[in-house]
């Protein structure tokens, strides 16, 4: 399934948030959105996922949904958005409950999602008993359990410490390499973007426009190898130079409202 995003304008009252953002997400790719804070990355993701109504613009799909998909687009949230009164398994089962599934079908899907995210031993645990990294694994398992066509990840690792972030990036990549679920991944972390993305969409400061779409060009599997190091370092330099001035100006802006 291919996704066309074409936002001509998006504003909260008089405050323009996005201004002419158009791109296409190709099947099976990871598209990273980066940009200075407040540039409307998360809003853009919300629009793509149908949680925010754009002022003027449209998001459309092309092609068929994958076999057995219950929800076309699912989110992974920065703050995990787990239901604290439910166990890990119950949280993962949550998006299945309103679908017509037998209990055994549902249990099988949940068990499978837990297995893929390495959570099988934690099925009965409550969120409060888990570390941040494990909680986000639950968030990812929940997003995957419905077999989405498109994963929308909204700074999924920002709330975690550096080491956990590293671990989860690896695990997520392993998972993705096996299944190649199409994903839009919002981050403000250049290294994360360069580890995961096929392409990186660089947004300007508010109102967000596309400054450039950078193709990484090195397969994800090869990125830790020494031969990729130079290319990636150059790309990092390039991305940073695109963002740097924008970030500096955005940093000095007064918070709106």
Partner 1 sequence: MADTALREPGAAVRFRGGGFLPGTSRLAAVAAFVGLILVWQAAISFGLVSPVFLPSPVEIASALRDLTMSGELWRHLSISLVRIGSGWALGTAAGLCVGTAMALFSLARSVGLPMVSALYPIPKIALLPLLILWLGIGEVSKTATIALGVFFPTVIAVYSGIDNVPRNLIRMAQSFDVPFRDIVWKIALPGALPSIMSGFRISVSTALLLVVAAEMIGAESGIGAFVLQAGNLMQTDQLMAGVTVLSILGLIVGAALSWAERALLAWR
Using CB under 8 A, list all residues that contact partner 1. Answer: 49-51, 71, 73-75, 77, 79, 81, 83-86, 94-95, 97-98, 126-128, 146, 152
- Measure CA 252 to chain center: 27
Residue closer to partner 1, measured from CB, 136 or 204: 136
CB of 74 to partner 1, least distance (A): 6
The region, left, alpha or beta by phi > 0 then psi within -120 to 50, assigned to residue 180 is left
C-beta closer to partner 1: residue 74 or 181: 74
Residue whose C-alpha is closest to residue 96's, from 148, 57, 35: 148
Q: Which residue has the tokens 């919002």?
A: 186
**Toward partner 1, which CB reaches closer, 28 or 50?**
50
What CA–CA distance (Å, rounded) separates 91 from 131?
Answer: 16
> CA-CA distance, 137 to 47, in Å (whole number)?
24
CA nearest to 27, candidates 60, 63, 58: 63
Q: How far is the CB of 95 from partner 1 (least distance, A)?
A: 4
Residue number with CB closer to partner 1 (98 or 252): 98
Beta bridge partners of 82: none
Q: Is residue 97 a contact partner of residue 175, using CB atoms and an 8 Å limit?
A: no
> CA-CA distance, 186 to 208, in Å (whole number)?
14
Residue 124: exposure state from Cβ atoms within 10 A (0-12, 13-18, ≥19): exposed
Q: How far is the CB of 71 from partner 1 (least distance, A)?
A: 6
Q: How far is the CB of 47 from partner 1 (least distance, A)?
A: 13
- Distance (Å, whole) CA 224 – CA 51: 36
CB-wise, 152 or 243, nearer to partner 1? 152
In this complex, which beta carbon is closest to partner 1, that of residue 128 or of residue 178? 128
- For residue 149, give both structure tokens: 């066509």
For the bound state, the minimum distance from the C-beta of residue 123 to partner 1, rounded and expressed in Å, comes to 15
As measured in angstroms, the least distance from the Cβ of 126 to partner 1 is 5
């Amino acid at each position: 399934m291919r996704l066309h995003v074409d936002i001509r304008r998006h504003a909260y009252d008089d405050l323009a948030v996005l201004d002419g953002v158009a791109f296409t997400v190709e099947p099976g790719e990871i598209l990273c959105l980066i940009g200075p804070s407040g540039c409307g990355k998360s809003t853009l993701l919300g629009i793509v996922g149908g949680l925010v109504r754009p002022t003027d613009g449209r998001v459309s799909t092309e092609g068929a949904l994958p076999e057995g998909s219950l929800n076309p687009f699912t989110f992974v949230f920065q703050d995990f958005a787990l239901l604290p009164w439910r166990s890990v398994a119950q949280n993962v089962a949550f998006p299945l409950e309103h679908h017509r599934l037998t209990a055994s079908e549902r249990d099988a899907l949940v068990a499978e999602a837990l297995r893929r995210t390495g959570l099988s031993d934690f099925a009965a645990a409550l969120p409060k008993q888990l570390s941040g990294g494990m909680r986000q694994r639950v968030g990812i398992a929940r997003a995957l359990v419905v077999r989405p066509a498109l994963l929308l990840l909204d700074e999924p690792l920002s709330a975690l410490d550096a080491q956990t972030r590293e671990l989860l990036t690896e695990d997520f990549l392993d998972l993705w390499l096996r299944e190649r679920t199409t994903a839009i991944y919002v981050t403000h972390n250049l290294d994360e973007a360069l580890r995961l993305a096929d392409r990186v969409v660089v947004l300007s400061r508010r109102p967000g426009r596309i400054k450039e779409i950078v193709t990484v060009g090195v397969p994800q599997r090869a990125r830790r190898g020494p031969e990729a190091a130079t290319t990636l370092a150059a790309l990092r330099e390039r991305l940073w130079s695109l963002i740097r001035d924008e970030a500096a100006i955005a940093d000095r802006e007064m918070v709106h409202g």
